[in-house]
Amino acid sequence: MRILVTGGSGMLGHVLVRALLTSHEVTGVSKNGNYDTRLCDLTNPEEVKKLFSGRRFDLVIHTAAYSDVDGCERNPKLAHESNALTTKYLAAACRPARVPFIYISTDYVFDGRQTALYSEKDLTCPINVYGMTKLEGEHYAADAPLSVIIRTSWLFGPGNPNNFVNAILARLRSEKAAKVLADQEDSPTYTRDLALAIQKIGQYAESFSKHNPGKEFHDTFQVCNAGVTTRFEMTREIKRILGLREVRVEKLDRLPSEHRPALRPRFASMSTAHYEFLFKTKLRRWQDSLKDYLSENN
Ligand SMILES: NC(=O)c1ccc[n+]([C@@H]2O[C@H](COP(=O)([O-])OP(=O)(O)OC[C@H]3O[C@@H](n4cnc5c(N)ncnc54)[C@H](OP(=O)(O)O)[C@@H]3O)[C@@H](O)[C@H]2O)c1
C-alpha cells in the first residue's frame, strides 16, 4: 500500500512509519521535517491539497496533533487549527478518491466522571481545550467516506524525552525522592503495540474499500494497553522493574493550577472490546509492555 502518515516525527508517528516501511511505501509528513519526514503544515489547506496532487494514497493515517494538553489550554486557536482543521482538510482530500482515513484521537474526549471503562458509544464531553479540539477532529474525520477513529491514551515509547516514562526515568536516576501525581487513573499505552493495532485496522479499512466500491464505512475503535493505573503507581512499577532501590517515590495529590492550567479527566480508561473482538486479539497488560520498553531502551 501507499500510505501517508501525518505526524511522522511524533512519538507515535515515527514508530508507526518504521513499522509500516517493512511492507509498504510510506510518506511521512510533519511540521518541521524531522525523522526524514516531508515538510507540510497541515493547518494550511493549500499545502494539504499539494500533498495529494499527482499522488494516489491507499490509506491516510492522521497522527499529527498539538498534543500538549496545557499548551492547548493556553493557545486554543493553535489547538483548533492543529487538531480540528488539519483533520477537516485531510478528510476532504480523502473524499474524491475514497481513500480510507484513520484519525488518531484520545480518551480526553470523555469527562472522566464514569467509574466503569468507557465504551465507544459512551457520551463524549471533554473538559479541556485539547479534548474539545480532538473531538471536533473526530466529527471532521467522518467527512471522509471511509473513516476510522482510533482513540488511545497516555502514550509511552521511544523518541520523546518528555513522555511520562522517559521523564520519570531521568528523575528516578538523578533524584533521591520523586513526588508523583496520583490524581488520574488511565491506561498507559506503548506506541509499538498501538502501531501494530493501527496496521491491522488500516489493512481492514483498505480491504473494505477495495471490496465494497461506492459504499461508505465509519467506525470507532479504542486501543490502549490493558489495565488501569496512576502515574504514581506506574512510577513504582518502573522502579521495581529496574531495581532502583535508592530512590523514594512519594504520592502527590495535585499540582497548583498555574503549573497545569488544563483540567484532566479523573478516570478515562477505555474498553478495547470492540477492537479485540473484531481482530480476535488481546492487548497486552501495560506492565508487560512497559517491561519490554524498558528492556529495549535501557
Ligand atoms: N501522547 C499521548 O499521551 C496521547 C494520548 C492519547 C492520544 N494521543 C494522540 O495520538 C497522536 C500522536 O500523539 P504523539 O504524542 O505521538 O504526538 P507528538 O509526539 O506531539 O507529535 C505530534 C506530531 O504532529 C506534527 N504536527 C503538529 N502540528 C502539525 C502541523 N500543523 N502540520 C504538520 N504536522 C504537525 C508534529 O510535527 P513536528 O514534530 O514537526 O512539530 C509531530 O510530528 C495525536 O493525535 C494525539 O492527539 C496522544
CATH number at residue 216: 3.40.50.720
CA of 259 to the centre of ligand 1 (A): 22
Residue 200 domain flag: yes
> pLDDT digits over 173-205, tens only?
999 999 999 999 999 999 999 999 999 999 999
Residue 118 domain flag: yes
For residues 159 and 199, the model is more confident at 199
Instruction: Grade residue 258 by pLDDT with cuts at 50, 70 and 90.
Output: confident
The single residue of 66, 108, 118, 130 carrying the catalytic annotation is 130
Residue 178 domain flag: no
Instruction: Grade residue 242 by pLDDT with cuts at 50, 70 and 90.
Output: very high
Residue 55 domain flag: yes
Residue 119 domain flag: yes
Contacts of 104 (CB under 8 A, 6+ apart): 12, 61, 62, 63, 65, 150, 152, 198
| pLDDT surpassing 90 at residue 162 | no
Note the pLDDT of residue 259.
80
User: Rounded mean pLDDT of 14-29?
Assistant: 97
Mean pLDDT of the chain: 96
Residue with cell 467527512: 143
Residue 245 domain flag: no
Considering its fold, how many domains does the chain have in total?
Answer: 1
User: Rounded mean pLDDT of 19-32?
Assistant: 97
How does 270-287 read in b/e, with b if 16+ C-beta sit within 10 Å?
Answer: bbbebbbeebeeebbebb
Residue 50 grid coordinates: 499539494
Contact yes or no for 233/182 (Cβ under 8 A): yes
Which candidate, 171, 153, 193, places its Cα nearest to that of 293? 193
CA of 239 to the centre of ligand 1 (A): 28
Instruction: Report in angstroms the alpha-carbon separations of 164 from 160, 259, 289.
Output: 9, 16, 14
Domain membership of residue 83 as a residue range: 2-160+188-224+269-278
Ligand 1 pocket list (CB less than 6 A): 6-7, 9-13, 30-32, 34, 40-43, 63-67, 82, 86, 104, 106, 134, 152-155, 160
> pLDDT digits over 131-157, tens only?
999 999 999 999 999 999 999 999 999
User: Rounded mean pLDDT of 115-125?
Assistant: 97
pTM of the model: 0.97
C-alpha span between 157 and 244 (Å, rounded): 20
CA of 68 to the centre of ligand 1 (A): 9
Residue 91 domain flag: yes
Residue 288 domain flag: no
Q: Does 130 participate in catalysis according to the annotation?
A: yes
Instruction: Grade residue 254 by pLDDT with cuts at 50, 70 and 90.
Output: confident
Residue 163 grid coordinates: 513522555
Note the pLDDT of residue 297.
79
* Backbone torsions φ then ψ of 129, nearest 5 degrees: -65, -40
Note the pLDDT of residue 130.
98
